[in-house]
Amino acid sequence: MNTPSPLKLTLVVAGVILCWAYSPIGVHMGLHSYSPGQLALLRFLIASVFMAGVALVVGIGRPRWRDVPWLLVLGFFGVFVHHTSLNYGQQWVTAAASSVLAQSAPLFSVLIAFFCLKERVSAWRWGCVLLGLLGVLVVIWGDQGVGDIDPHGLLILLAAASWSLYFAIQKHYAHRYSPLTMACYMVWAGTLMLSVNLPGLANAVGQAPPLENLAVLILGIFPSALAYLGWAYVLKHVEVSRASVAMYLIPPVAMVMASTLLGEHIARQVMLGAVMVLASVAAISLEGRWRSVAQAERAQPVAIEVLGDKGVAEIQGRR
């Protein structure tokens, strides 16, 4: 497999960032004509058709029967719960604030690891979680004001939590299927569940202004389909820890888009809260990388001791 040039990878990553940064803007526009459930269904009907075409051209693996229930669970958390709660929550917050709150998923991953998986969480990570949750409060305060906070807006945090559950479950099946295969089955399973919102959708499409239907069409093709395919391509050639750093650029880009396309005024408190949330998420990621490096360094002397001088010499000779 040929390794793509750094320029090509950079362009693909930039495309993914633009696609996912557009997502809250497209949702904001679509909510003018569609209910949150209808918008989620229409978005993923478009994505499902698009990804079916890609799957026919590229080809994907068939799921094992024993994995089908878990693929449905992935679709439930990754598409149904995440995007339904995201759409409902964004009725009460701006697109800029939504883009920040949606990036808080790693904070909930730590909480899930501690409370559900009974994993040991370091003091560093607890500090990161507290900083991130404080940043969430600052974002909400700056976006709506303390006295005007509507609990419905907190559904975006439910969307972030469901995304964390999706990734926690996905880890157990990532080695069985390619990223493209996983993305296709997740999207199709989630779309099937979203079909409960089908009644009235055809009338809503006919009554919606062309500009808003175009916004939803872009939402279905780019953030919901092409971005996943582009991200799968990046992960084939770049380590997850390195590639995920680019995701921190999504909220700032989304803020610029929201200000330009929607005319939103970005409060200073929202920007401050965004810095706090992203800094806490980045610190969690850095601790994971430091831990991996430390484990590798501890394992190296053991490997040398087991192999002996002769074994090490043989390995060095093969390089």
53 burial type by CB count under 10 A (0-12 exposed, 13-18 middle, 19+ buried): exposed
Which among 77, 73, 281 is positioned nearest to 162, based on CA atoms? 77
CB 88 within 8 A of CB 200: no
> Which 8-state DSSP code applies to residue 117?
S
Domain range summary for the chain, segments of one domain joined by +:
6-112+150-264
What does the DSSP 8-state code read for residue 120? -
> Long-range contacts of range 195-202, CB-CB < 8 Å, 24 or more positions apart?
195/41, 196/37, 197/35, 197/37, 197/38, 197/40, 197/41, 198/41, 200/38, 201/38, 201/41, 201/42
Q: Which residue from 156, 102, 101, 110 is spatially nearest to 129, judged by alpha carbons?
A: 110
What is the pLDDT tens value at each position of the chain, 319 positions in all?
567 788 888 899 899 999 999 999 999 999 999 999 999 999 999 999 999 999 999 888 888 889 899 999 999 999 999 999 999 999 988 999 999 998 888 888 788 878 877 778 888 889 989 999 899 888 888 886 655 566 777 889 999 899 888 877 877 776 788 878 888 999 999 999 999 999 999 999 999 999 999 999 999 999 988 987 887 788 777 766 566 677 788 999 999 999 999 999 888 889 999 999 999 988 887 776 556 555 555 655 544 444 454 443 343 444 4
Locus of tokens 């509507």: 150
Structure tokens belonging to residue 136: 């969430």
Model pTM score: 0.82
Nearest of 253, 288, 286 to residue 95 by alpha carbon: 253
d(CA 222, CA 289): 31
> If you compute the radius of gyration of the chain from its CA atoms, what whole number of angstroms results?
21
Task: Name the DSSP letter for residue 171.
Answer: T
DSSP assignment of 234-297:
HHHHS-HHHHGGGGGGHHHHHHHHIIIII-----HHHHHHHHHHHHHHHHHHHHHHHHHHHHHH
